Amino acid sequence: MEKVLEFLKKAGVWYLATVDEEGNPQVRPFGAQNIFEGKLYIQTGLKKKVAKQMLAHPQIAISGMADGKWIRLNAEAVHDERIEAQQSMLDANPSLKSMYAAGDGNTAVFYLKNATAEICSFTAEPEVIRF
């Protein structure tokens, strides 16, 4: 899981895919990630469509590139409403503090459960990481 965190940090911007209410895929750029209590977390605003989509259909996919490699990650997004989880995310990603605050009713953090990540390149076999 630490390797996945470092890969996403190095990518800077990675892409989150969700499913909307009609069953259509939706992809958008993200860039906030954190490990809290041994789980990999991502963050968004609870008022955004992406949060509503993850709450309704928690199966997600993430993809990003760094150093000539790419990651494909599939997981279940689990909403964690605890203030401590929100604060940990904000502390790890200080740029979010201009838009979000722990306990503000909008900050939403999700940890990734039953995750499988593949780090791939054109020159090596994929490295598979499950957590």
**DSSP letter (8 states) at residue 26:** E
For residue range 104-113, what is the model confidence (pLDDT) as tens digits? 999 999 999 9
Domain of residue 17, CATH code: 2.30.110.10
Helix (H, G, I), strand (E, B) or coil at 47: coil
The total of structural domains in the chain comes to: 1
What are 13's strand-pairing partners?
Answer: none
Supply the range of the domain harboring residue 50: 2-130
- 12-52 confidence digits (pLDDT tens): 999 999 999 999 999 999 999 999 999 999 999 999 999 99
**How does pLDDT run across 70-128, given as a tens digit for each residue?**
999 999 999 999 999 999 999 999 999 999 999 999 999 999 999 999 999 999 999 99
Beta-bridge mates of residue 107: 45
With a pLDDT cut of 70, the percent of the chain lying above it is: 100
Its pTM stands at 0.96
pLDDT score for 107: 98
